[in-house]
Structure 1
Amino acid sequence: MTQQPSNAASGASDLSEIEKETARANVDTDPISANQRDFAGLRGHVIAWLAVGYSVFHLMVMNVYPLETWSYRLSHVGGGLILGFLLFSAHSYHGDRHGGRPLWAKGAVAVGGAGILYGLLCVVAIWINGRVFGEALPPAWAMSTFGIPLAGGSALVIAAAWFAPGPKRQVYDLGDTLLALAALAATAYLIFFARQLQLRAGMPMALPGDMWAAVTGVLLIIELTRRLAGLALVIIAGVFVAYAFLGPWLPGIFEHRGYDPKRFFSYIFTDNGVLSAPIAISSTYIILFVIFAAFLQTTRVGEYFVNLAFAAAGHRRGGPAKVAIFASGLMGMINGTSAGNVVATGSLTIPMMKKVGYKPQTSASVEAAASTGGQIMPPIMGAGAFIMAEITGIAYMDIVYAAIIPAIIYFVSVYFMVDMAAQKANMKGLPRELLPKLDVLIKQIYLFSPIVVLIGALFMGYSVIRCGTLAMATAAVVSWLTPHAMGPKQLFNALDNGARMVLQLVAVCATAGIIVGVIALTGIGSRFSTVLLTLADQSQFLALFFAMVVSIILGMGMPTTAAYAVAASVIAPGVINLGVEPLTAHLFIFYFAVMSAITPPVALAAYAGSALAGSDPIRTSVESFKIGLAAFVVPYMFFFSPAMLLDGSWIDIAHVTVTAVAGVFLLSAAVQGWFFGRAGWAARVALLVSGLAMIYAGWTTDLVGAGIASALLVVQRKVGLSAGVSPGTD
């Protein structure tokens, strides 16, 4: 899938240095590709066709041929599991083994494989008996014996994959093929008996087969999540599953009567758990926009966005960092994962930032902060807006409108941060001869039409699915105006890439569904909310502070979609019960769940950036936290000032926006120690006080903040002039 460098964005035969770097960066930007196998020959073609079929299946169901909800969601999860195990090899936290597997692992795979194959045979017999021979009752021998071999065999193969995996990127692994077959067997059973399972889920009449199919599904989901998202989310999910069984022995609010395995697992694989809101969104909006992102990447239309940003701002002070803010925010809005976006755009922007003088640590931090900010940028918000609409019942467009001003303030703050850092270091921009030609790129502004169509259709009231499909089609059409017109081969590659890119989110959303199901079954969410109310003692501010802490802790090591879904289930009811508006409460929780990606000590986006920049991960996470500091203030701003969420008169909205921008400017100056010249610690404290005063809505505090800032500006000017220093200009 290596792609050739493009001159589409420049329209010239000789590429600029930036365009060459862009082409090289686009060769392999998948954050989990290091664990993806290299395929060749027939096997590679078969898996590519399976991936294309997975994408086409979803597009057809969403746009042409609707499918019953349960079957569709189960197909989404099951298909993702099958592709995931075929594409991504296991890895070990004890180091990779490049030699042969130990004897016990080979034995586990052999015994487990026999169990999986027997379970698959039973499911096939059940299907043939019902669909071919028309028998009302499935064969008793198959129903009573398939479950234990299937679940036990899967557990054995997973154990071998965990403790004794083969080398990374190996072409073939028998164990992973067996796990793909186990996913096929469990999913086929659940789909075939989906309607019955809906009626008897979690009830005494649930069949043993229901439980064993669900057990197999949960094991496979957890293992694929381990491979694609790391161990943190797996541990959290494991704790929640254990909690469902250990309730009778736990103290205080954690105590519950406990559940037997049959009730728990048959309940967890319904729309109360695995198939709940996260998978509902993953199977529709997330996969749609991931395929859209794949279309932009394959047609090189997405490349135009980066080149235009470099042409417009690359020559300015700290130009590549400012380019990263625009490009990463735009692409992060679409692709739905902070760490993935860091790798996709950071592979270009981080080296360029280092070239103009930013430290490796700062380069990675800027990229992490900008990419994470893409998750809060309307109208897509990395699928967050869709999940919020699904959970709350609030209209999608209401969420989009409300999120506009907070997102703008965040990105303005990041811009201030990088600009002041550039001033302190007296950085210059990149030479214009190394940059794409702006006048040439302006003539190709039509390449922005996919984004224009997407946003325009959303605001015209079309359904989100229709809007995404139209934007995808537009990307294909405008590609015909470039040397990389989308023909059959490019279309195939885009659909193939889209399926591969979405697998991590499928696994993560399914695991989040397990956690949500435990919360719903045990009632721990409502009890936690009661405790939250008691601790807050009717104080909305304290309740929101606790919500911030819990959201960040839950979000550490988890992708945005999972972090928000879990945090909203646990925290939101208690905050809303204290009188906070549902939209405000959920946006508040969402912001902090997103910002956990740049919050030490576990900051996935910052770690991804540090790997590209060659910087220390912990120091990078601390600096990315500082650069994204506004995001930790903005939620309190819209809590105290509902006008920031467009809830108020235009005068109030304009007032709160202007003062908020001034406030984050002053906060940025305090963090960077630069206010029209270097600022000492006393000046930084004064800037912090004035910034917070400007942020808090109220004319009195605004006047206080403006007064402090004005006095400090006079002092800074005098100090600068007496020292013979004049502030730089951009």
Structure 2
Amino acid sequence: MSQKNKSELSAVAETELRLDEAAANVDEETLVSNQREFLGAKHWLIATACVLYSVFHLLVMNVYPLETWVYRLSHVGGGLVLGFLIFSAVDIKSDGATSRSPLSRLVLAGAAVGVLFGFAMFGVILFSSLAANAPSGPDWAMDLFGLPLFLGTVLAMLHSWKFPDERKHNVALSDVLLVLATIAAIGYIIIFARPLQLRAGMPMALPSDMWAAVVGVLLVIELTRRLAGMALVIIAGVFVLYSFVGPWLPGIFYHRGYEVKRFFTYIFTDNGILSAPISISSTYIILFVIFAAFLQVTKVGEYFVNFAFAAAGHKRGGPAKVSVFASGLMGMINGTSAGNVVATGSLTIPMMRKVGYRPQTAAAVEAAASTGGQIMPPIMGAGAFIMAEITGIPYVEIVYAAIIPAIIYFLSVYFMVDLAAQKHGMTGLPRSALPKFGKLLRQIYLFTPIVVLIGSLLAGYSVIRCGTLAMASAAVVSWLTPHKMGPLQLFRALEMGARMTLQLVAVCATAGIIVGVIALTGIGSRFSSVLLGLAEHSQLLALGFAMIVSIVLGMGMPTTAAYVVAASVMAPGLINLGIEPLTAHFFIFYFAVMSAITPPVALAAYAGAALSGSDPVKTSVESFKLGLAAFIVPFMFYLSDSMLLQGTWIDAIHVTATASVGVYLLSSSVQGWFFGHANNWVRLGLLAAGITMIEAGWLTDAIGVAAGVVLYLVQKKSASRETATAQQ
């Protein structure tokens, strides 16, 4: 055998090995830098707690409903407890240590005294309430409960920041105290849930109500900082501060201000933390996150990726096209753009680089595809559920309306990667190194959970019933594979589902703080009035403002929080201008999603850059270019509601066809390739032709198509001239 053949066989073997290893990693949980990894008895104890958290939600949703406040508070409280046990306040090291200085011990002792005393008073209140079979407690216990708990919680948080325990396999003592503080604060609110529904936010609220709410807010914000970074924490902090400094602010920002007791007891109601975001998080989000965990444990996610590689891996730029399909599908289910980049990017990014994509381009493709998963029906991350809750529009109608925009977006990204492959002469991976398509077709039944989900939705079942049926079908289908779901796999799926939910619990609770402030102060309606005045009754100008606000608010924030906050501020103004609620909310949602790939703060692009070793800023710029269609599509469905399937089928087919042509012309302009290298004049012409097709009118579409044909002829003539010159 020649040396060349040996090298080729070696390359094929290496590619197969990387595909097998990376595809398997798609279904593995990715540990973040501050996540603890427990061993032995500690592992099983935490895992069991996670499983109980998941089982509790499944039972309440399907078998034994609880009172709304009690259920949502249990959802938040359980998430806080698990979050503080699993995630450290700072990045941790396997060989790290904890500070044992005198100051550290003094702060920890103070924290312990305060939290344990408050926890003891909570115990007295709980015992008294159980004995009386009604929410009650001795006056002395009620008076002594709050302030020590608050002071101890603050000291415990300070200790976790300044004197962290960096050991990977241990829970810091300060975090154990935060767990006890969570049980005391949330437990108190659960006990007094019914009375608080009447007195929260009112003058008759008790001091103990206030202290429980203050501690709860602090704990929610701290867990959000650990799991989602500082962006959302800073925004929430600004809104909380605004609630107290309103009397000293000018213009529309003025309000009369609120007492601390009234503000915090109001925030911990269904007007604030327990409002729509937590309502969705405690039902649809956790249900579908557990469903995603079932797919991962049964290796269905690995099958999705292998299927994509078998179908498109051999084509030019194949791994990038695989990324568009696989990352979009997985991103739809797992609900976070950056998280999906880390999960599927570990496979697709190295493969893209192998066939010739630059590191930043590979990372940008993965970021754009994973972000697009948030707009792909039927799950849309969690966006469809939250939009249904906020607008009152049926979930199925929202999913139905999202079909064409999602198609156009992914077509655009596909065009981008295909044109880049043509431009740089990229090839695909060798067929011999890819999964066998025929073999995978014989396992097509692994798509059954998705088919069951979509079918049951169309059949009119409730979303919770549909998610539960899809989850059960994933377990049943696994029995036809080597990865059968038995008791241990079921345990692992339920554990993984709880862990994957924690960030969304924290984010939704913090978003609820912002929603509560907007409702309490009325800043949302006043901002809408200003928007109306600035736009001077121009819907298009108002949409431009809404786009900017949605992107800015979404920078550095998860999609769920970005949409909730932007919709609270912007949607009322757009609707008052005469824009349909569905169109207004979809418009805001799309730009909140796209903030994940919009410079200068593009979380999905940054995650991809970390995997590829590319420059984060350059990667974010390129991901912005690849996702360009998403910045055009919202204006398309504003100008033509047929794109949201609100018109006839003929209109829907027309708008889909012309939008597809339009995004192809725009993609060609961005990539500088249109049946050959395109000079600057041709690129400008393509840009203009694509923009004319934004409005789905027959005249504008005809102009755009005609311009495209003319530019094609120009390119063909130029290519013929270059060929003739080369032959001379």
Deviation by residue 1:563-591 (Cα, 9 ceiling, x = unmatched):
00000000100110000000000000000
Structure 1 residues 669 and 79, CA gap change in structure 2 (3 angstroms): same
2:33 is paired with a residue whose SS is: helix
Q: Where does 1:309-328 land on structure 2 (aligned, <5 Å)?
A: 309-328=308-327
Q: Which residue of 2 aligns with 1:223?
A: 222
Q: Distance in 1 between matches of 2:224 and 2:40?
A: 28
Q: Where does 1:29-48 land on structure 2 (aligned, <5 Å)?
A: 29-30=29-30, 33-48=32-47
Structure 1 residues 286 and 135, CA gap change in structure 2 (3 angstroms): closer
Instruction: Report how far residue 338 of structure 1 moved.
Output: 0.6
Deviation by residue 1:439-470 (Cα, 9 ceiling, x = unmatched):
00000100110111011111111111111111
Q: Which residue of 2 aligns with 1:144?
A: 143
Q: Which residue of 1 aligns with 2:489?
A: 490
Structure 2 gap segments, 5+ residues each: 1-13
Structure 1 residues 268 and 539, CA gap change in structure 2 (3 angstroms): same
Q: Where does 1:125-204 land on structure 2 (aligned, <5 Å)?
A: 125-132=124-131, 134=133, 137-167=136-166, 169-204=168-203
Q: Which residue of 2 aligns with 1:74?
A: 73
Q: Where does 1:245-260 land on structure 2 (aligned, <5 Å)?
A: 245-260=244-259
Instruction: Report how far residue 629 of structure 1 moved.
Output: 0.4
Q: Distance in 2 between matches of 1:41 and 1:699?
A: 68
Q: Which residue of 2 aligns with 1:462?
A: 461
Q: Where does 1:422-441 land on structure 2 (aligned, <5 Å)?
A: 422-441=421-440
Equivalent pair of 1:247/1:257 in contact (CA under 8 Å) = yes
Q: Distance in 2 between matches of 1:273 and 1:107?
A: 36
Q: Which residue of 2 aligns with 1:408?
A: 407
Q: Which residue of 2 aligns with 1:445?
A: 444
Q: Distance in 2 between matches of 1:667 and 1:255?
A: 45
Instruction: Report how far residue 170 of structure 1 moved.
Output: 4.5
AA aligned opposite 1:208 = P
Instruction: Report how far residue 26 of structure 1 moved.
Output: 3.6
Q: Where does 1:570-649 land on structure 2 (aligned, <5 Å)?
A: 570-649=569-648
Does 2:285 correspond to 1:297? no
Q: Distance in 2 between matches of 1:433 and 1:581?
A: 52
Worse-matched range after superposition: 410-419 or 397-406: 397-406
Q: Which residue of 1 aligns with 2:25?
A: 25
Instruction: Report how far residue 285 of structure 1 moved.
Output: 0.5
Instruction: Report how far residue 252 of structure 1 moved.
Output: 1.1
Instruction: Report how far residue 171 of structure 1 moved.
Output: 1.6
Q: Which residue of 1 aligns with 2:9?
A: none
Instruction: Report how far residue 136 of structure 1 moved.
Output: 6.6
Q: Where does 1:473-622 land on structure 2 (aligned, <5 Å)?
A: 473-622=472-621
Q: Where does 1:664-675 land on structure 2 (aligned, <5 Å)?
A: 664-675=663-674
Instruction: Report how far residue 397 of structure 1 moved.
Output: 1.1
Identical-pair percentage: 69
AA aligned opposite 1:495 = L
Structure 1 residues 473 and 362, CA gap change in structure 2 (3 angstroms): same
Instruction: Report how far residue 100 of structure 1 moved.
Output: 2.3
Does 2:286 correspond to 1:287? yes
2:82 is paired with a residue whose SS is: helix
Structure 1 residues 462 and 135, CA gap change in structure 2 (3 angstroms): closer
Instruction: Report how far residue 649 of structure 1 moved.
Output: 1.8
Deviation by residue 1:321-375 (Cα, 9 ceiling, x = unmatched):
1111111111111111111111111111111111111111001000000000000
AA aligned opposite 2:25 = A
Worse-matched range after superposition: 692-701 or 223-232: 692-701
Q: Distance in 2 between matches of 1:250 and 1:28?
A: 50
Equivalent pair of 2:26/2:301 in contact (CA under 8 Å) = no
Instruction: Report how far residue 91 of structure 1 moved.
Output: 1.1
Q: Distance in 2 between matches of 1:190 and 1:135?
A: 13
Deviation by residue 1:91-130 (Cα, 9 ceiling, x = unmatched):
179xx98562554333222201211111111111111112
Worse-matched range after superposition: 716-725 or 349-358: 716-725
Deviation by residue 1:45-64 (Cα, 9 ceiling, x = unmatched):
11111000000000000011
Structure 1 gap segments, 5+ residues each: 1-13
Does 2:376 correspond to 1:377? yes
1:358 is paired with a residue whose SS is: coil
Give TM-score, length-normalised by structure 2: 0.95
Q: Distance in 1 between matches of 2:52 and 2:580?
A: 43
Structure 1 residues 37 and 549, CA gap change in structure 2 (3 angstroms): same
Equivalent pair of 2:98/2:164 in contact (CA under 8 Å) = no
Q: Which residue of 2 aligns with 1:418?
A: 417
Equivalent pair of 2:33/2:91 in contact (CA under 8 Å) = no
Structure 1 residues 446 and 473, CA gap change in structure 2 (3 angstroms): same
Q: Distance in 2 between matches of 1:670 and 1:17?
A: 38
Structure 1 residues 98 and 642, CA gap change in structure 2 (3 angstroms): same
Q: Which residue of 2 aligns with 1:722?
A: 721
Instruction: Report how far residue 695 of structure 1 moved.
Output: 2.3
2:382 is paired with a residue whose SS is: helix
Q: Distance in 2 between matches of 1:159 and 1:64?
A: 42
Q: Distance in 2 between matches of 1:226 and 1:58?
A: 25
Instruction: Report how far residue 82 of structure 1 moved.
Output: 0.2
Structure 1 residues 576 and 56, CA gap change in structure 2 (3 angstroms): same
Equivalent pair of 1:92/1:165 in contact (CA under 8 Å) = no
Equivalent residue pairs, number: 710
Equivalent pair of 2:531/2:542 in contact (CA under 8 Å) = yes
Q: Distance in 1 between matches of 2:583 and 2:361?
A: 32
Q: Distance in 1 between matches of 2:550 and 2:234?
A: 17
Q: Distance in 2 between matches of 1:527 and 1:173?
A: 45
Deviation by residue 1:29-69 (Cα, 9 ceiling, x = unmatched):
43x53211121122221111100000000000001111111
Instruction: Report how far residue 718 of structure 1 moved.
Output: 1.7
Equivalent pair of 1:92/1:162 in contact (CA under 8 Å) = no
Q: Distance in 2 between matches of 1:137 and 1:227?
A: 35
Q: Distance in 2 between matches of 1:422 and 1:59?
A: 46
Worse-matched range after superposition: 124-133 or 659-668: 124-133
Q: Distance in 2 between matches of 1:577 and 1:569?
A: 13
Give TM-score, length-normalised by structure 1: 0.95
AA aligned opposite 1:540 = Q
Worse-matched range after superposition: 293-302 or 126-135: 126-135
Instruction: Report how far residue 603 of structure 1 moved.
Output: 0.5
Instruction: Report how far residue 301 of structure 1 moved.
Output: 1.4
Equivalent pair of 1:97/1:164 in contact (CA under 8 Å) = no
Q: Which residue of 1 aligns with 2:274?
A: 275
2:217 is paired with a residue whose SS is: helix
Instruction: Report how far residue 21 of structure 1 moved.
Output: 2.6
Q: Distance in 2 between matches of 1:133 and 1:521?
A: 35
Structure 1 residues 135 and 538, CA gap change in structure 2 (3 angstroms): closer
Structure 1 residues 571 and 138, CA gap change in structure 2 (3 angstroms): same
Equivalent pair of 1:90/1:168 in contact (CA under 8 Å) = no
Equivalent pair of 1:91/1:168 in contact (CA under 8 Å) = no
Runs of 4+ in 1 over 6 A off after TM superposition: none
* C-alpha RMSD of the superposition: 1.7
2:479 is paired with a residue whose SS is: helix
Structure 1 residues 40 and 561, CA gap change in structure 2 (3 angstroms): same
Equivalent pair of 1:101/1:166 in contact (CA under 8 Å) = no
1:695 is paired with a residue whose SS is: coil
Q: Which residue of 2 aligns with 1:243?
A: 242
Structure 1 residues 596 and 672, CA gap change in structure 2 (3 angstroms): same
Q: Which residue of 2 aligns with 1:352?
A: 351
Q: Distance in 1 between matches of 2:101 and 2:653?
A: 68
Structure 1 residues 290 and 135, CA gap change in structure 2 (3 angstroms): closer
Q: Distance in 2 between matches of 1:583 and 1:236?
A: 26
Q: Which residue of 1 aligns with 2:333?
A: 334
Instruction: Report how far residue 472 of structure 1 moved.
Output: 0.6
Structure 1 residues 588 and 23, CA gap change in structure 2 (3 angstroms): closer
AA aligned opposite 1:17 = L
